[in-house]
């Protein structure tokens, strides 16, 4: 941390203060307990060195090669990281009283993102002696932090982080992201939900799912409960049947219908049984064949499997 100050030509801070999370950090910065912190040095410590290094690499490579360089280094990582950064900011702001939210938004803009800066740091020179070396060292050790003339306020990193296969925050039995001081975010496949809502999923029934008026929450309920289980326990009836499978439809108030094809794997399991699968298909699907064909990117008239496995 001190090396980041030195790399920027700044005097080292008199104090380094740790906080359990970004939420605790902004509360410390807004409650008057750090009045002697001095002015923010984020511009000199982070924004200035980054802009200079970006300009250097851009001049060295040219526009096209620089774009290719970014795509091959930090672009994909930043897309995954950006959503987490936005969710943390939103969570911190939502935890405040409405009258405080503007002040907290401004404080969050003063933050250096620590490990969440890795996406752009990996695209540039961070070796010892480089302008970004101090920032990279801080990113390896800390979470978000706030650099001021006299004080640096550092947040711990999260202790838990859970994502789905698409990189979205996702967990059905607890916080998707959590810090040591209790600050936590709950999410289901990227959608922000409350801890109370997640707890309620353990006692779901088809009736409770049907009664939910919020279409997005109802969709989460269906995903958690299982479409096949919902079909079985809600008394749903098939709307079409042919040699490829059975087409089912769930009508939902205020949302598009859920349409699924029930198919049986023609290859037997080791015990001789045949596994049943449920394939979600577009709500406009009219026949089981059309639905199965859609999963292969084909039309119903061109789907003619020679051998099923």
Cα distance between residue 258 and residue 95, in whole Å: 35
Q: Provide CB contacts within 8 A for 102, sequence distance 6+.
A: none
- Confidence (pLDDT) at 258: 84
For the chain, what are the domain ranges?
Answer: 2-157, 206-295
Within 10 angstroms of residue 40's Cβ, the number of other Cβ atoms is 16
Helix 75-94 vs helix 101-109: crossing angle, to nearest 10: 150
Least confident piece of the model among 18-22, 151-155, 259-263: 259-263
Q: pLDDT band at 262, cuts 50/70/90?
A: confident
Q: pLDDT band at 234, cuts 50/70/90?
A: confident
| Arithmetic mean of pLDDT, 93-98 | 95
- Confidence (pLDDT) at 175: 97
Whether residue 274 contacts residue 265, with contact meaning beta carbons closer than 8 Å, is answered with: yes
Average pLDDT, the chain: 90
Q: Regarding beta strands 177-178 and 151-155, do their DSSP bridges make them parallel or antiparallel, or are they unpaired?
A: unpaired
Q: Give the up-direction half-sphere exposure of residue 297: CA atoms within 13 A in the CB hemisphere.
A: 0
What angle is formed at CA 276 by the lines to CA 239 and CA 172, rounded to 5 degrees? 95
Specify the DSSP element, H or E, that contains 135: helix 133-141
Q: pLDDT band at 309, cuts 50/70/90?
A: very low
Cα distance between residue 26 and residue 101, in whole Å: 11
Least confident piece of the model among 55-64, 102-111, 137-146, 229-238: 229-238
Radius of gyration of the chain (CA): 26
Query: Facing residues of 163 across strands?
Result: 169
pLDDT at residue 137 tops 50: yes
- Confidence (pLDDT) at 305: 67
Beta-strand ranges (E) seen in the chain are 15-19, 145-147, 151-155, 160-161, 177-178, 184-185, 187-188, 191-192, 238-242, 245-250, 258-264, 276-281
pLDDT at residue 255 tops 90: no
Q: pLDDT band at 5, cuts 50/70/90?
A: very high
pLDDT at residue 62 tops 50: yes
Cα distance between residue 1 and residue 17, in whole Å: 11
Least confident piece of the model among 19-33, 91-105, 139-153, 291-305: 291-305
Per-residue buried b or exposed e for 162-198, using 16+ beta carbons within 10 Å of the residue's own CB: bbeeeebbbbbeebbbbbeeebbbbbbbeebbeeeeb
Cα distance between residue 218 and residue 157, in whole Å: 33
Within 10 angstroms of residue 126's Cβ, the number of other Cβ atoms is 19
- In percent, the amount of the chain with pLDDT more than 90 equals 65
Interval 189-202: pLDDT, tens: 899 999 999 999 99
């Amino acid at each position: 941390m001190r090396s980041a100050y030195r790399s920027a030509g700044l005097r080292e801070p008199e104090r380094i203060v740790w906080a359990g999370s970004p939420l605790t950090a902004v509360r410390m910065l807004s409650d008057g307990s750090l009045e002697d912190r001095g002015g923010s040095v984020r511009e000199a410590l982070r924004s200035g060195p980054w802009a200079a290094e970006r300009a250097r690499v851009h001049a060295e490579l040219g526009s096209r090669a620089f774009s290719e360089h970014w795509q091959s280094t930090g672009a994909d990582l930043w897309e995954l990281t950006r959503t987490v950064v936005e969710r943390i900011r939103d969570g911190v702001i939502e935890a405040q009283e409405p009258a405080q939210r503007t002040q907290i938004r401004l404080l969050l803009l003063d933050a250096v993102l620590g490990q969440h800066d890795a996406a752009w740091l990996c695209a540039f020179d961070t070796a010892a002696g480089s302008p970004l070396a101090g920032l990279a060292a801080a990113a390896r050790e800390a979470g978000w932090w706030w650099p001021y003339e006299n004080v640096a306020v550092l947040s711990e990193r999260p202790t838990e982080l859970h994502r789905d296969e698409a990189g979205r925050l996702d967990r059905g039995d607890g916080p998707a992201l959590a810090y040591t001081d209790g600050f936590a975010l709950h999410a289901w496949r990227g959608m922000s939900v409350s801890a109370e809502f997640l707890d309620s999923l353990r006692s779901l029934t088809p009736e409770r799912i049907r009664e939910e008026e919020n279409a997005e929450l109802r969709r989460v309920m269906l995903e958690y409960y299982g479409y096949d289980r919902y079909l079985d326990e809600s008394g749903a009836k098939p709307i079409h049947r042919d040699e490829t499978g059975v087409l089912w439809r769930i009508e939902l108030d205020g949302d598009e219908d859920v349409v699924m094809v029930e198919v049986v794997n023609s290859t037997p399991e080791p015990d001789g049984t045949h596994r049943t699968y449920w394939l979600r298909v577009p709500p406009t699907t009219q026949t089981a064949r059309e639905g199965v064909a859609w999963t292969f990117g084909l039309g119903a008239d061109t789907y003619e499997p020679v051998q099923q496995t």
